[in-house]
Structure 1
Amino acid sequence: MRMEQQPLLRGWTLFLSVCAVGIGGTFQYGYNVSIINAPTQHIHSFLNETWNSRYQKKLNTDLLTFLWSVIASIFSLGGLCGALVGGSMAIRLGRKGALLMNNIIAILASILMGISFPTGKFELLIVGRFLIGIGLCVQPLYLGEVAPKHLRGGMAMGSSIFLTGGILTGQIIGLRELLGGETYWPLLLSSSCFPAFAQLAFLPWFPESPRYLLIDRGDELSCVKALKRFHGSLRYQMEMEDIQRECFALSGEKAKKPWQLFTDRGVRWQLITVIVMTMGQQLSGINAIYFYTTYIFKQAGISAEKIPYVTLGTGACECLTALTCGLLIDHVGRRFLIIGGYLLMTLWSIELHSWVPYVSMTCIFAFILSFGLGPGGITNTLTAELFIQSSRPAAYMIGGTISWISFFTIGMLFPFIVYCFLVFLVECALVAVFIFIVIPETKNKSFLEIKKEFHKLNFGRNVKETELYERRQLHDEL
């Protein structure tokens, strides 16, 4: 009886770990991205009333616009700060510790945003938005490390599934019939504490990343216990051997700092790949689509009252494709999905460039579906797979920093290129070509096997370095 229960127990532990990590991390992030749009007019009124109460004069239009811009954009600055410290926190506190620290910050931020209205202090709203933006980029790192090779893609996609689920949930809760009305908008902003409380309640019951326990902390006993809980007593040995091989290959090497990756020839093309994929994801046009959706729907003849409900369709599209990608990624592979996604986005960019309202509206949904099927989720998955343990946290710090800088850049440049989707067309096509040439298929491969795939790109025809590398690989295998 005990042997029959092992596969079921193993499957539920892995599945529930994805839920526990996703609900307080990427779900919470997506939720906070979307809920700020619903109470825009109510926050404007709050700013006007607060200013008038303090200084007995009306807030001028330019200053109102500036304050609202700060409230909306400070979230990105918080995200950038989180990316800069995320890797270090994942090393010092562990993957679980960093995730739990996120929740403490999120609860504090929710309290500040919730009390900003009753206290009449809009500064608390600004501080809360900054804090809620701090995400330590640890969710895909944890999931990528605990998953077995044959499920790694699907489990890593859990981050994207919960992210899109959070966006869709925020769009629904933000409807004026629910918490998006004038009376309840402070509750809407403070409701982001619930995912944080959920993760604080459930995540401590799950093990730390086994790779972190053995490679970073040298705790073999805890590593074995964690592997048995994740994979069962009958199948943990295979994963243990894989982690031990990686541990021997590192030969006691400490976790690297982000700047060290730029001078390490052994990860040169992996780092270039992460930078190109991250910039490609953010500059593909998806953010421009979201920025300009309201205008396009108006041009298509949809009334302003109905636009929030139509916008739910964009969130539902991305959520659906994230789920589809999660089901397909470990069967058809990463390359097929991400290259296909970018090529389809290139096709829809041609139509969007023409900017015919009804055609553009159809293409918007097609563009979002294509993005969610490939670049939206697989980018983070590949970031986890292209690096071994000593380089992975630093790679996430670099990728997260590039992502937030790119997001800010497109936000600044968007008004100047909104009518020129040819920019996004060229960008998507070039990224697809780069991935086709450079990135190997990583499905069902260990982290060491993936590293070996990049060996020829990193060292070229350098005979001495090639021989040295091959000797080390042979030694590690023995």
Structure 2
Amino acid sequence: MENILKELFHLKVLLLLIIVSGMGGTLQHGLNMSLISAPSAYIKCFINETWLERYGTAMEEQVIKVTWSVIVSIYPIGAVLGALIAGHLSVKYGRKNCLVFNNILAIVAAAIVGLSRMARSFEMILVARFLYGVNAGNGMNIHCMYLMECSPKKLRGVVTVTTAIFISLGKCLGQIIGLREILGSESVWPLLMAFNAIPAFIQLVTLPWFPESPRYLLIDKGNRALSINALQRLWGKRDFSQELEEMQAERTAIRGKRPRSVWELCRDPSVWSQLAINMMMSLFIQLSGINAIYSYAFEIFHAAGIPNETIPYVSIGTGLIETITLLICGFFVERAGRKSLLCGGLGFMSLWTALLTVTFSLQHLVSWMPYCSLVIIFAYVLSYGLGPGGVAIILPSEIFLQSDRPAGYVINGFLNWFGLFLIGMVFSFMIEGLGYLCFLIFCGVCFVLTILAYYIVLETKGKTPLEINEEFKNRKFWKKAPLRVSPNGTIPQSTVEIIMSTAF
């Protein structure tokens, strides 16, 4: 760990790039996740006031709820669009340029929502949330690709996991500035909703001074001189012969192919294992319950006897725990490996959700049981941060070759945002229909993911994308073993062994 820290701090330009790229990358998603909650009551009131001014009658309570739901849910819809266009734009214009110009969307959205109350238009909030979504969906995908392609092989894990850290930092920052003492009051809520413009502007004026991804320059563009120049600026002047050979070998392996589309990638059986892992790291991680746990935190804190006016301050602790554990994950991911952290984190998450169901069912019978629920919530967040929270954002960038990575991230982004949208729409109905038993569903998802991760996920620590791709090919995960049936109609034990060894 000490060597990793020394190496990282020695690469000062790369360290600055991590900070600058995060400002307009995944930090934006974290902000959008938390900033919307603090002014919710004020925005609902603004919607009703605007309607009354226009039509002379107050808006019905149910219509206000529906309008608010649309404002909240249009964000992941915009993010799906952003994720779908990220692959094409990152190939055509480069990773860095896409991140730079993506900030314009956030600044425009901030201007629209900042002027919404002055213009007496709640529809402007809707438009701004959609643009914020496009910005976040595009920025998250390209941010992950850009950092992975700019980092040395032995630091790839710790550098890439910073994209998850910036999501948590964004959540914490949004919770802090959303406090009543800062920007969470009724008089300044438009400024709170427009806060995204500040990190976007910082990245807009600073990121152009950094180089383009060296892997993109050599493998996609075939420009060896620019790639070497980018490596020298990022890593300092030293011998890059090994890194250049590895990139050239990958370029030779894909034989100068153009980046594949999503349809072409899905039709290729040789990458189905990678696609299965990609689906696990996007859709099913969202269905593990982490965002539902955050959504239900208010009720848990309330049940523990914490005053309502104090709950926002206590909620910040949840975000801080996730941030701290992701930092710890960043230091351990190159030592313990991706697979062990992923399986361990998911396994503990299944245990905590099972225990959470028990404590919820007993919290009205035992006076101190709500405090057990609080401890379990923090343990759940801790397990997520040390395992899936960091690893899920690293693996998609490592398991695909350069020609497949943009399409892989399009799939990853689409499923990730779809899962977030699905949980947001369905969770309230799950609570209404199943009560606390709904957490058993999350327990089952986490348990199944633990088993799948153990059998499907390959350890990628310290390996090049080409080496990882060759390992997947050698496993022949999707190749069917010949089925030999004995005369009595049974399958011989040797055939069963062949099938199992071929699959796993």
For normalisation by structure 2, the TM-score amounts to 0.88
The residue identity in structure 1 corresponding to 2:241 is: Q
Instruction: Give the Cα–Cα distance (whole angstroms) in 2 for the partners of residues 404 and 326 of structure 1.
Output: 24
8 Å Cα contact 2:8-2:15 kept in structure 1: no
The answer on whether the counterparts of 2:148 and 2:156 sit within 8 Å (CA) in structure 1 is yes
The counterpart of 1:428, out of the listed 442, 446, 454, is 446
Contact 2:269 2:478 in 1 (8 A): no
Give the whole-Å Cα distance in 1 for the aligned partners of 2:119 and 2:428: 36
Cα pair 2:337 2:460 within 8 Å, conserved: yes
Residue 461 of structure 1: how far off its partner (Å) = 6.2
**Residue identity (%):** 44
Label 1:212 to 1:65 Cα distance change in 2 as closer, same or farther (>3 A).
Answer: same
Partner of 1:366: 379
Q: State the SS of the aligned residue for 1:184.
A: helix
| Unaligned 5+ runs, structure 2 | 1-6, 364-369, 482-504
Q: Give the Cα separation in 2 of the matches to 1:213 and 1:249.
A: 16
Shift of 1:214: 1.2
State whether residues 400 and 469 of structure 2, in contact with CA within 8 Å, keep that contact through their aligned partners in structure 1. Answer: yes
1:57 aligned onto 2:64 = no
Show the counterpart of 2:167: 163
Match of 1:29 in 2: 29
Which of 225, 232, 239 is the matching residue for 1:228? 232
SS at match of 1:454: helix
Paired residues for 1:258-269 under 5 Å:
258-269=262-273
State the partner residue of 2:465.
Answer: 447
Q: For the Cα contact (< 8 Å) 1:27–1:163, is it kept in 2?
A: yes
Contact kept? 2:150, 2:215, Cα under 8 Å? yes
Change (3 A) 1:294 1:212: same
Q: In the alignment, residue 329 of structure 1 is paired with which amino acid?
A: V
For 1:87-98, what aligned pairs fall within 5 Å after superposition?
87-98=87-98
- Letter aligned with residue 29 of structure 2: Y
Aligned length: 458
Give yes or no for the alignment of 1:154 onto 2:158.
Answer: yes
Whole-angstrom distance in 1 between the partners of 2:281 and 2:125: 33
Q: Secondary structure at the match of 1:133?
A: helix
* Equivalent position SS for 2:259: coil
- Partner residue in 1 for 2:297: 293
| Cα distance between partner residues in 1 of 2:167 and 2:419 | 19
Q: What is the CA-CA distance between 1:124 and the residue it aligns to?
A: 0.8
- Deviation of residue 341 (structure 1)? 0.6
State the match for 2:310 in structure 1: 306
CA contact (8 A) 1:227 1:239 kept: no
What is the deviation of 1:278?
Answer: 1.5
What residue in structure 2 maps to residue 14 of structure 1? 14
**C-alpha distance in 1, partners of 2:119/2:429?**
39
Query: Structure 1 CA distance, aligned partners of 2:480 and 2:350?
Result: 37
Specify the code of the residue in structure 1 equivalent to 2:314: V
Where 1:176 maps in the other structure, the secondary structure is coil
Residue 459 of structure 1 deviates from its aligned partner by 6.3
Note the C-alpha offset of 1:102.
1.5
By how many angstroms is 1:415 displaced? 2.4
Tell me the residue number matched to 1:401: 414
Q: Which amino acid aligns with 2:472?
A: F
- Do the aligned partners of 2:148 and 2:397 also contact (CA within 8 Å) in 1? yes
Deviation at 1:32, TM superposition (A): 1.6
- The C-alpha deviation readout for 1:374-402, integer Å capped at 9, x for no partner, is 11121120000000000000000001101
Contact 1:268/1:458, CA 8 A, preserved across alignment: no
Deviations 1:347-393 (A, max 9, x none): 10111112133222211111111111111121120000000000000
Distance in 2 (CA, whole Å) between partners of 1:179 and 1:9 is: 35
Structure 2 partner of 1:198: 202
Residue 280 of structure 1: CA displacement? 2.4
Q: Report if aligned partners of 1:227, 1:240 keep a CA contact under 8 Å in 2.
A: no
For residues 480 and 178 of structure 2, what CA distance do their matches in structure 1 show? 58
CA distance in 2, matches of 1:60, 1:433: 48
Look up the match of 1:185: 189
1:458 Cα deviation from its structure 2 partner: 3.7
Indicate whether 1:133 and 2:127 are aligned: no
Letter in 1 for 2:73: S
Pair 436,45 (structure 1): closer, same or farther in 2 beyond 3 Å: same
Deviation at 1:13, TM superposition (A): 1.2
Aligned residue in 2 for 1:282? 286
Matches of 2:8 and 2:251, distance apart in 1 = 29
1:308-338 deviation per Cα after TM superposition (whole angstroms, max 9, x unaligned):
0111111111111111111111111111111
8 Å Cα contact 2:73-2:424 kept in structure 1 = no
Change (3 A) 1:268 1:59: same
Q: 1:460 offset after TM fit, Å?
A: 6.1
- 1:412 deviates by 2.1
1 CA distance for matches of 2:49 and 2:478? Answer: 65
Which amino acid in 2 is paired with 1:346?
S
For residues 268 and 460 of structure 1, do their structure 2 counterparts lie closer, same or farther at Cα, with a shift above 3 Å needed? closer
Structure 1, residues 201-234: CA drift from partner, whole Å, max 9, x if none?
2111111001111111122211111011122221
| Contact kept in structure 2, 1:298 and 1:304, CA below 8 Å | yes
Q: What does the per-residue CA deviation read over 1:420-464, in whole Å, with 9 as the maximum and x for residues that have no partner?
A: 21111111011111111111211110111111111133466689x
Q: Distance in 1 between matches of 2:9 and 2:118?
A: 48
**CA offsets per residue over residues 212-268 of structure 1, 9 Å max, x none?**
111111222111110111222213222111111111111111100011111112211
Tell me if structure 2 keeps the 8 A contact 1:24–1:199: yes
**8 Å Cα contact 1:350-1:421 kept in structure 2:** yes
Q: C-alpha separation between the residues in 2 aligned to 1:80 and 1:458?
A: 32
* SS in structure 1 at match of 2:212: coil
Give the counterpart of 1:349 among 347, 350, 353: 353
User: How far is the alpha carbon of 1:113 from its aligned partner?
Assistant: 0.5
Q: Does 1:330 align with 2:348?
A: no
CA shift for structure 1 position 195: 0.4
What letter matches 2:209 in structure 1? W
Distance 2:241 2:234 in 1: 12
Structure 1: segments with no counterpart, 5+ residues: 1-6, 464-478
